[in-house]
A and B are shown apart, each in its own frame.
Chain A
Amino acid sequence: MIEKPGIGRPLAHVVLVLGVLVVAFPIYYTFIASTQSLTTILRPPLPLTPGDQIAANYGEALFGGIGRIGGVAVTTLLFNTLVMALGIALGKIFISILSAFAVVFFRFPLRMVFFWLIFVTLMLPVEVRILPTYKVMVDLGMIDTYAGLILPLIASATATLLFRQFFMTIPSELVEAARIDGAGPLRFLRDILLPLSKTNIAALFVILFIYGWTQYLWPLLVTNDNQMNTIVIALKKMVSFADADTPWHMVMVTSILAILPPVLVVVLMQRWFVRGLVESEK
């Protein structure tokens, strides 16, 4: 203890409570709006307590289909987004573990060439090469497919670097012991390396899942069919300020449903997520 905790500590609580209010209010406000009827929403100011339309709104959005986006139900959107987020997270983890394993535990000609080939893609987001990547997708016939949504976004080196760094901390003795016991490289990967990497994989999974779920520009370009939209893209398509008939209550319901799954993942896997984020990106 440095000095007596005078006014400092209560003040800190006040600051944090204010911070939480600022940070959480937009989400709370959206939730409130999602439980109101359209007429209530269109007549500001909005009440600060939930309305009585909650069952009606959510039921209509989830199972009825929303006219503005071609009558697609939000369950379809959620499914598409889930496939994309899981595909990106698992796909990236899969290819990164394999290539990091190759670079760290083998010596072969052109090893460093391959490493740099992958490393260069670090931090060069898909946004800076959208038009040519789009052309590639058209040439490969990948528009409106899950592969088209997923593959271009897993071409990045961040996860590979992370696993490489972790694998380099594995003591040589472990590898030697495994070899003496007659374990081949794939056995070593499965029985020793993967169990050791569990926390890293969990942390990376959370980060990549969020990354996949929140993508915007790429799914916007690569999906034309309303059935293939992700929930974020569908949301944008529902909103129009030019005309008055934007179904705002449906927009708010869809927003909440778009926010909920990734928030749950972050909050429930908080321990790994925080560790992974702070330690991996330093």
Chain B
Amino acid sequence: MQKAVFPNRVLPYLLLAPQVAITIVFFYWPASQALYQSMLKEDPFGLKSKFVGLQNFTQVLGNPDYLNSVRVTVVFSVSTAVLAMALALFLATAAEKVVRGKGFYRTMLIWPYAVAPAVAGLLFLFMFNPSMGTFAYLLRDAGYRWNPLLDGDQAMLLVVVAAAWKQISYNFLFFVAALQSVPRSLIEAAAIDGASSTKRFWTIVFPLIAPTTFFLLVVNTVYAFFDTFGIIDAVTGGGPAQATQTLVYKVYNDGFVNLDLGGSAAQSVILMAIVIALTAIQFRYVEKRVHYA
């Protein structure tokens, strides 16, 4: 059926105007600038720039520092997503089992969602920094050589833990909702057939919540790519020796600290392509999830 509509001719344009204006000024203008800039090269004094085509892109992609930060980003994103999702799923399955106190547990578990990533990073740095952090002190007491300010792997571990901690709440809420939508009859049938609760989880529940898991995987990856800038800047500043320099951090660092405008813009364009790909994957998948219902 055709949806009933209002016949006005001018009003809809007026209604759209604010959002379209803001989108053009703060989205399309800068995005096109990024595209344009990514094909320019400035002289060292920033006075002249010349068109160099795709040279910035080949330079960026051939730069070992860039490839290193691709590797760092992949390691960081995968570890953060897996850690945050595994813990959240574990807690959500436990929350499914309890009868009393569900609301209380949920309230206690959603706090970190409201904590800014940079603040989360600072808290973990405060607990684990080698000079005065209580946990660093305990680790050293236990004979472990802990110094995330010098050791790249430990720095990575610290930012992953801080980033995952912040994301547990979000994943938890989604997993709880997904678990509630698994039909009880299926689980009961399996129980009657003698399947243990572990077996029921892996053969029935886990496949049925796969759509949510996949959705969260995409969201967590996007989170690890972008929202964690604050964590990395607050905790490690990309160091030590670029061990935690993710792609977004590098865009910022090259553009605002090293002032390599063309290179930074080229990296921005590559990042945009990655985000668009991730979004496309998610949308394709969102269409498919209907089949599970």
Report the stretch among A56-64, A66-74, A98-106, A197-205 that lies at the interface.
Answer: A98-106
A185 to B200, CA, bound (A): 53
A263 to B4, CA, bound (A): 42
Q: Is the CB of A16 within 8 A of B16?
A: no
Q: Is the CB of B114 within 8 A of A262?
A: yes
Q: Is the CB of B15 within 8 A of A102?
A: yes
Q: List, in ascending order, chain B residues with CB within 8 A of A282's CB.
A: 215, 286
A42 to B3, CA, bound (A): 67
Q: Is the CB of B30 within 8 A of A2?
A: no
**Contact indicator per residue, chain B 231-245, by CB within 8 Å of chain A (1) or not (0):** 001100000000000
Q: List, in ascending order, chain B residues with CB within 8 A of A5's CB.
A: 97
Measured CB to CB, the closest approach of chain B to A63, in angstroms, equals 22
Q: Is the CB of A262 within 8 A of B115?
A: yes
8 Å CB interface, B1-40 against A: 1, 3-6, 8-9, 11-13, 15-16, 18-20, 22-23, 25-27, 29-31, 33-34, 37
**Contact indicator per residue, chain B 190-227, by CB within 8 Å of chain A (1) or not (0):** 01000001000000000000000001000100100011
Q: Is the CB of A130 within 8 A of B8?
A: no
Report the stretch among B52-60, B68-76, B104-112 that lies at the interface.
Answer: B104-112
Report the stretch among B41-49, B132-140, B152-160 that lies at the interface.
Answer: B132-140
Measured CB to CB, the closest approach of chain B to A173, in angstroms, equals 8
Residue B146, interface by CB 8 Å: no
A107 to B133, CA, bound (A): 62
Q: Is the CB of B97 within 8 A of A130?
A: no
Say which residue of A22, A108, A281 sits within 8 Å of B13 (CB atoms).
Answer: A108
A104 to B12, CA, bound (A): 10
Q: Is the CB of A136 within 8 A of B26?
A: yes
Residue B67, interface by CB 8 Å: no
Q: List, in ascending order, chain B residues with CB within 8 A of A151's CB.
A: 22, 25-26
Contacts A26-B127, A133-B30, A172-B3 hold; do A114 and B113 have CB atoms under 8 A apart? Answer: no
Measured CB to CB, the closest approach of chain A to B81, in angstroms, equals 16
Say which residue of B99, B114, B168 sits within 8 Å of A263 (CB atoms).
Answer: B114
Contacts A41-B132, A217-B230 hold; do A130 and B122 have CB atoms under 8 A apart? Answer: no
A128 to B276, CA, bound (A): 11
Say which residue of B107, B126, B227, B268 sits within 8 Å of A130 (CB atoms).
Answer: B268
Interface size on A, residues (CB 8 A): 105
Q: Is the CB of A185 within 8 A of B6?
A: yes
Say which residue of A101, A239, A266, A281 sits within 8 Å of B234 (CB atoms).
Answer: A239
Residue A55, interface by CB 8 Å: no
Q: Is the CB of A154 within 8 A of B114?
A: no
Measured CB to CB, the closest approach of chain A to B246, in angstroms, equals 10
Contacts A176-B4, A251-B126 hold; do A128 and B226 have CB atoms under 8 A apart? Answer: yes
**Contact indicator per residue, chain B 258-290, by CB within 8 Å of chain A (1) or not (0):** 000100110010011001101100000010000
Q: List, in ascending order, chain A residues with CB within 8 A of B99's CB.
A: 9
Residue A232, interface by CB 8 Å: yes
A37 to B129, CA, bound (A): 18
A5 to B108, CA, bound (A): 24
Q: List, in ascending order, chain A residues with CB within 8 A of B137's CB.
A: 44-45
Say which residue of B1, B19, B118, B127 sits within 8 Å of A96 (CB atoms).
Answer: B19
Q: List, in ascending order, chain A residues with CB within 8 A of B182's CB.
A: none
Q: List, in ascending order, chain A residues with CB within 8 A of B252's CB.
A: 130, 217
Residue B188, interface by CB 8 Å: yes
* CB-based nearest A residue for B264: A131
Q: List, in ascending order, chain B residues with CB within 8 A of A123's CB.
A: 222, 275, 278-279
Q: List, in ascending order, chain A residues with CB within 8 A of B168's CB.
A: 19, 23
A121 to B27, CA, bound (A): 7
Q: Is the CB of B173 within 8 A of A99?
A: no
Centre residue among A128, A160, A184 by max chain B CB count within 10 A: A128
* CB-based nearest B residue for A5: B97
A179 to B90, CA, bound (A): 53
Q: List, in ascending order, chain A residues with CB within 8 A of B226's CB.
A: 125, 127-128
Q: List, in ascending order, chain A residues with CB within 8 A of B93's CB.
A: 12
Q: Is the CB of B114 within 8 A of A265?
A: yes
Q: Is the CB of A274 within 8 A of B173?
A: yes
Nearest 5 A/B pairs, CB to CB: A216-B230, A214-B116, A132-B33, A262-B114, A132-B30
Other CB < 8 Å A-B pairs besides A12-B98, A127-B248, A239-B234, 17 of them? A12-B97, A13-B101, A27-B123, A29-B123, A99-B15, A103-B12, A118-B23, A128-B251, A128-B275, A129-B27, A132-B37, A151-B26, A155-B26, A185-B6, A216-B230, A241-B149, A251-B122
**Can you list 19 A-B pairs with a CB-CB distance of less than 8 A?**
A2-B187, A9-B97, A16-B91, A19-B109, A44-B133, A44-B134, A95-B22, A98-B18, A122-B279, A127-B229, A129-B34, A140-B25, A172-B3, A176-B4, A185-B8, A235-B234, A262-B114, A263-B115, A278-B173
